[in-house]
Structure 1
């Protein structure tokens, strides 16, 4: 599973799922897919009403060549809401700024009414932004409902088996900002 090592090298440790959980998702969930090329890796779940991008990695040698945009354009052609999570901008980590700029350039918006807080294995909270793209105007109520489903179906798939806890309990992780 070379793709897992590439993801593990790139994404922060607290954002990585257990290799076996991801493999179980691929093997057992009809909605969950892995696409791997020499240039990119994408793991995503396609539900009837939306697509949840779990991981998207463009390899270092392929960055800056429009490959990530092409991957997102293929997802957009499905004509569904697309959801993904991204860490907030960190002034000490240039990649966080570049990631956000990339998604905004590709038409994604931040679900600015939704607060999304996850926990590390040590119980430390960390914030994530929910970004979305939609072919039609929609309310963040829809984003919230579909993100709850992504948490339940993807993040929490066998989570108690692999982590002894839910990775993203939607009732705790997702709240409305006041």
Structure 2
């Protein structure tokens, strides 16, 4: 198996086959948004290839050099429960050993399926991700913040890079309205709205 970049046609196939099946609408960017960000050098859709077949994906949203948001991690529905999610994460860190990958995992306390959210967190912990000391809220979805790196990372620099990724992509007005980094732990989540509103 090999982690590499897909063609645009392959990206379109896996978006409809894997991402739309695995992620709720409130958490999923449109294909057009992903393609635009990729073309502008802000995004890398890494894919795990088994021969010519794509069996998993790790889409990363680039920040400053050495920092990236792990935007989507997904395994094809026909290849699940074979350790491929772990393989994608391991391959990602091997490909980018000096990068800190931070991510957002739906907080069980506000998730529609708390048990599933707990299983996702457990998967990430088993595969070496660490919990940051702050949560986020993005477009009304409450997330726990995790990171994958070959070193320990303090919350201050991590939060600054987390904020930067969103600030470089959204207007100040949209950022203020829909992005909470960090999230107030006593606040109720806002209304969930689509990414591309």
Same-fold call, TM > 0.5? yes
Assess, with a 3 A threshold, how the Cα gap between structure 1 residues 171 and 93 changes in structure 2: closer, same or farther. closer
Unaligned runs of 5+ in 2: 1-11, 186-197
**Preserved contact between residue 151 and residue 170 of structure 1 (Cα < 8 Å):** no
Unaligned runs of 5+ in 1: 120-124
Is residue 61 of structure 1 aligned with residue 78 of structure 2? yes
- Find the counterpart in structure 1 of residue 127 from structure 2: 106
> What is the root-mean-square deviation in Å for CA atoms of aligned residues?
2.5
- Find the counterpart in structure 2 of residue 122 from structure 1: none
Partner SS for 2:89: helix
Partner SS for 1:22: helix
Q: CA deviation at 1:135?
A: 1.4
* More relative contact order, 1 or 2 (CA 8 Å, 6+ apart): 2
**Preserved contact between residue 152 and residue 169 of structure 1 (Cα < 8 Å):** no
TM-score using structure 2 length: 0.71
Distance 1:138 1:170 in 2: 28
Match among 31, 39, 42 for residue 55 of structure 2: 39
Deviations 1:113-156 (A, max 9, x none): x231122xxxxx32111111221222111110111122123xx3
Distance 2:104 2:116 in 1: 14
Is residue 115 of structure 1 aligned with residue 127 of structure 2? no
- Find the counterpart in structure 1 of residue 181 from structure 2: 174
Assess, with a 3 A threshold, how the Cα gap between structure 1 residues 170 and 65 changes in structure 2: closer, same or farther. farther
State which drifts further: 37-46 or 96-105: 37-46
Match among 105, 110, 116 for residue 95 of structure 1: 116
Give the 5 Å matches for 1:12-161.
12-29=24-41, 31-36=42-47, 37=49, 38-46=54-62, 47-77=64-94, 78-79=96-97, 80-89=99-108, 90=111, 92-112=113-133, 114-119=134-139, 125-153=140-168, 156=169
Is residue 8 of structure 1 aligned with residue 8 of structure 2? no
